[in-house]
Structures are given as C-alpha cells and as structure tokens.
Amino acid sequence: MKRLTLLRHAKAVGKDARDFDRVLAAHGRAQMEVMARHLAEMALDLALCSPSARTRETWELAGRPDVPVQFDRRIYEAGETQLLAVAQEADPQAASVVLIGHNPAFEELALDLVRAGERGAGAERLQGGFPTAGVAVLEFDVAGWRGLARRSGRLVSFETPASLGFGEDD
C-alpha cells in the first residue's frame, strides 16, 4: 500500500514578480497555519517539492522538518503525466510521499488517479477544483511507486482551508 498526498502551494503574491520567484501572500501564510495542523496528523516519509519560492515557503510553513525533502525542478510547470512520473520514481522505501506543487496539473493528476465512480472522502469537492493550499490524499494498493496508474487510486481525503474553517477557498 502506498499513500500519495498532493499539497498545492498556498496563495502567492500577484504576478508582478518573475513567476518562479513569487512568494506567499499574507493570505497564503494564514492558510498554511490551518493546513499545517491538518498535515501534522499525517504519516509522511518523503516530500518532493517544486523548487519555486512559493512551494518552498508552503512546505516550510507546513511545519514538518521531520520529513526529508527533495526539490525536483520537474514539478515546476509540470503536466499531469510528468507529475505521475515523478511520483512513480519516488524512493521505494517510502510508504507515504507528499508532492508540493502547482495547478492546473495537481487537479488534473488527482482527478486522473482516482478510480472511476469514486464517491465520498471529498470526491465531490475535488470535482469543483483544487484551491490554493488544498490537500488531497490518495491510497494505492500497490507494492511500489512504479505501480501508480491512472484510475487506480482511492481518495482518502480532500481538505482545503475552507473545509477546515478558514474563510473561502481561492
């Protein structure tokens, strides 16, 4: 059994800065206060993070220094197929991996990995989009990460800042 968590970066500042260098807005830092409490409850063995400023900051604010992190340039501006490849190449010893990155690829990947007809555990909310600081947790009945495939996962949970009581999602 493998567990993949997708954490979309929190709300970033406007696009005045070079995209790669954009940091979190005050709203994004506040979102992460709520989401960090949620992430604190999770067993995580490895973090694979886009090296952009906003994803680095999101992971730092997640408050999980106990989880080793690897920064992977492929996650930045990746499509869903490339994200799946990154997950499939994760350390085979890790039972639970968190990917920290960007939309629209995170939403597309989450929807593509969930088994057809999946209901419950936030599946309906996931159909409505993957807002900033959203966290989707998927389980796969596979021995290794290479076994991850489209329509093979079970959505365990999908939480957003709003679903955890923090204002409205964006």
Residue 151 lies in a domain: yes
Residue 170 lies in a domain: no
Element (H, E) at 162: none
> Angle at CA 14, nearest 5°, toward 27 and 159?
40
Residue 160 lies in a domain: yes
User: pTM for the full model?
Assistant: 0.94
CA distance 114 to 139: 9
Residue 104 lies in a domain: yes
Question: Per the structure block, which two tokens stand in for 100?
Answer: 């920290």
Residue 64 lies in a domain: yes
Q: Tell me whether strands 153-159 and 135-140 are parallel, antiparallel or unpaired.
A: antiparallel
- CATH number for the domain that contains residue 112: 3.40.50.1240
Residue 69 lies in a domain: yes
Residue 169 lies in a domain: no
pLDDT tens digit at each of 170 positions of the chain: 999 999 999 999 988 778 999 999 999 999 999 999 999 999 999 999 999 999 999 999 999 999 999 999 999 999 999 999 999 999 999 999 999 999 999 999 999 998 766 655 667 777 788 999 999 999 999 999 999 999 999 999 999 999 999 988 87
Residue 20 lies in a domain: yes
CA distances from 19 to 24, 45, 124 (A): 12, 29, 31
Give the pLDDT of residue 15.
80
CA distance 136 to 127: 12
Domain span at residue 33? 2-164
Domain count, the chain: 1
Q: Is 20 helix (H, G, I), strand (E, B) or coil?
A: helix
Give the pLDDT of residue 120.
58
